[in-house]
Chain A
Amino acid sequence: MNINLTLLFQVLFFAVFVWFSKKFVWTPVIGALDARKTGIADKLALAEKDRQSAEASRRDAQKAVEDARGEAAEIIRRAEQRGGELVDEAKTRARAEGERLVTAARGEIETEANKAREALRAEVGELAVAGARQILQREIDPKAHAELLAQLAAKLSAPAQAESRRS
């Protein structure tokens, strides 16, 4: 229990140690802790910002997809419409063409029928004349009775015409 110079040395050590501890232990350690704290705060803020921007991009992307989908639907609608139009057009054209063909065929048939009728008429006229000539060989002069024969031929063609019209 002797109080002596030891006490003063201890005071000296204390002063030196506290100074050293403040300068080389406390300040750097607290500095590192503070730096970490601000670093973490910064990173959290950054993460929050990133999250928000990601959210915005997601919304943009969704909007783009929706726009594209609408556009695609519009295109399909227009294409269907155009397709329908094309089909209608084709149908109309085909119908017209068919009608044209039918008309042409009918005209041709009529022409052929008329031609055949004319030929038949001429032949019938000649046969009739030839028949009559054989029956009336002696007294009938073809020149004096030509007018009579033409009237007969005209009468024959009238029923033939009615028959062709019916077909």
Chain B
Amino acid sequence: MASSGSITSGEFIRHHLTNLTYGRRADGSWGLAESGEEAADMGFMAVHVDSLAWSFGLGALFLWVFSRAARKAVAGVPGALQNFVEWVVEFIDENVRGSFTAKNDLVAPMALTIFCWIFLMNLMDLAPVEVVPRALGFAGVHFQKIVPSTDPNITFGLALSVFALMLYYSVKIKGPVGFAAELTMHPFEAKNPLVKILFILPNFFLEFVSLISKPISHSLRLFGNMYAGEMIFILISIMFYSGARLADITAGGVVMTLAGGLLQFIWAVFHILIITLQAFIFMVLTIVYMDMAHQRH
């Protein structure tokens, strides 16, 4: 860490991008990884304790607050919390009504969950990068990434869940044959049955790529934005801490510290927009994908 004085910027960044990983070590025993390399060596049989804890905690926080308001919800004059919850619910409902034309009671609550959950996960990005990891460092926890949406496991987990639901409803609504036809009869169409058969392979190739690209772009968009944002926060904090270390030697250090602080503020303000927008985009894409799954041809 910066305060130790012997750490390079590269190490600082790498340290901040390493999850607290619990998994099977090389010798076969289970435990927390001591370094990034060891965590990577654990392969698939490992969990990112920090990502999952923050992810679960934030999701639970959202559900706790909202369900508390929902349980006490009255048709009469709503209280402040109920008012807020109703505002969010109506906002989601409006979006779902706008994009989702079929009838499915699961889509709107799913959109609500996705929007609020991802928003809260992204919001962790605004916490200064050093505060929580260092506080936990004193408690003996050496790695900590507090923004779950900078972990591809989390974003892919969400996107693949949505993708699975999309496949499920595609098959359920269109039928296996209808879904297969959707994958093989477009975009090249023909009246002649023979030509139709000839077109199946290229059509399938194009449609399959487009199908597979959906969860990938869905998750990578969120992951990429949050990861890049987090990276910039880390770089700004390097500037801040380096300046602070140089401050007693040169006046340039003071300027660097102040500039770092200012940049941190500016980027955080800008980031408020990004985290909301990314949560919103993820939700809208979910709704759109679900709508595509419900379209009959």
User: Which residues in A have some Cβ–Cβ distance to B below 8 Å?
Assistant: 1-11, 13-15, 17-18, 20-22, 24-33, 35-36, 39
Question: CA–CA, A27 to B23, complex, Å?
Answer: 39
- Would A22 and B40 count as touching, CB distance under 8 A? no
Please indicate the chain A residues that have their CB under 8 angstroms from the CB of B241 in the complex: none
- Would B23 and A4 count as touching, CB distance under 8 A? yes
The answer to whether the Cβ of B93 comes within 8 Å of any Cβ in the partner chain is yes
| Closest-CB distance, A48 to chain B (whole angstroms) | 20
Please indicate the chain B residues that have their CB under 8 angstroms from the CB of A35 in the complex: 75
Please indicate the chain B residues that have their CB under 8 angstroms from the CB of A25 in the complex: 63, 66-67, 70, 85, 89, 109, 112
Please indicate the chain A residues that have their CB under 8 angstroms from the CB of B56 in the complex: 13
- Would B89 and A29 count as touching, CB distance under 8 A? yes
- Would B110 and A18 count as touching, CB distance under 8 A? yes
| Closest-CB distance, B219 to chain A (whole angstroms) | 10
- Would B45 and A4 count as touching, CB distance under 8 A? yes
Assuming the A-B contacts A6-B47, A6-B51, A36-B75, are A21 and B23 also in contact, with contact meaning beta carbons closer than 8 angstroms in the complex?
no
The answer to whether the Cβ of B138 comes within 8 Å of any Cβ in the partner chain is no
Please indicate the chain A residues that have their CB under 8 angstroms from the CB of B39 in the complex: 2
From B19, B73, B82, B109, A18 is in contact (CB under 8 Å) with: B109
Assuming the A-B contacts A5-B47, A6-B151, A13-B56, are A18 and B106 also in contact, with contact meaning beta carbons closer than 8 angstroms in the complex?
yes
Question: CA–CA, A5 to B39, complex, Å?
Answer: 13
- Would A28 and B44 count as touching, CB distance under 8 A? no
Count of B residues near A, CB < 8 Å? 51
Total A-B residue contacts, Cβ distance less than 8 Å? 135
The answer to whether the Cβ of B113 comes within 8 Å of any Cβ in the partner chain is yes
From A4, A9, A21, A22, B43 is in contact (CB under 8 Å) with: A4
Residue of A nearest to B108 (CB): A26
Chain B 54-98 interface residues, beta-carbon cutoff 8 Å to A: 55-56, 59, 63, 66-67, 69-71, 73-76, 78, 82, 85-86, 89-90, 93
- Would A3 and B105 count as touching, CB distance under 8 A? no
User: Which residues in B have some Cβ–Cβ distance to A below 8 Å?
Assistant: 19, 21, 23, 39-40, 42-48, 51-52, 55-56, 59, 63, 66-67, 69-71, 73-76, 78, 82, 85-86, 89-90, 93, 105-106, 108-110, 112-113, 117, 151-154, 156-158, 160-161
- Would A6 and B67 count as touching, CB distance under 8 A? no
- What would 5 more interface pairs be, CB under 8 Å, given A24-B70, A36-B75? A2-B40, A3-B153, A6-B154, A13-B157, A21-B66
Residue of A nearest to B23 (CB): A4
- Would B71 and A28 count as touching, CB distance under 8 A? yes
Residue of B nearest to A2 (CB): B40
Closest 4 CB pairs of A and B: A10-B157, A35-B75, A6-B153, A22-B109
Assuming the A-B contacts A6-B151, A32-B86, are A11 and B44 also in contact, with contact meaning beta carbons closer than 8 angstroms in the complex?
no
- Would B71 and A10 count as touching, CB distance under 8 A? no
- Would B70 and A17 count as touching, CB distance under 8 A? no
Question: CA–CA, A104 to B69, complex, Å?
Answer: 111
Residue of A nearest to B223 (CB): A1
| Closest-CB distance, A152 to chain B (whole angstroms) | 130
From A9, A21, A28, B47 is in contact (CB under 8 Å) with: A9
Please indicate the chain A residues that have their CB under 8 angstroms from the CB of B66 in the complex: 21, 25, 29
Please indicate the chain B residues that have their CB under 8 angstroms from the CB of A14 in the complex: 113, 157-158, 161
Please indicate the chain B residues that have their CB under 8 angstroms from the CB of A3 in the complex: 44, 152-153, 156
- Would A22 and B106 count as touching, CB distance under 8 A? yes
Please indicate the chain A residues that have their CB under 8 angstroms from the CB of B52 in the complex: 6, 9-10, 13
From A21, A28, A30, B113 is in contact (CB under 8 Å) with: A21
Question: CA–CA, A13 to B138, complex, Å?
Answer: 29
Please indicate the chain A residues that have their CB under 8 angstroms from the CB of B106 in the complex: 18, 22
Please indicate the chain A residues that have their CB under 8 angstroms from the CB of B78 in the complex: 32
- Would B40 and A24 count as touching, CB distance under 8 A? no
- Would B44 and A21 count as touching, CB distance under 8 A? no
| Closest-CB distance, B293 to chain A (whole angstroms) | 16
- Would A8 and B157 count as touching, CB distance under 8 A? yes
- Would A4 and B86 count as touching, CB distance under 8 A? no
- Would B154 and A5 count as touching, CB distance under 8 A? no
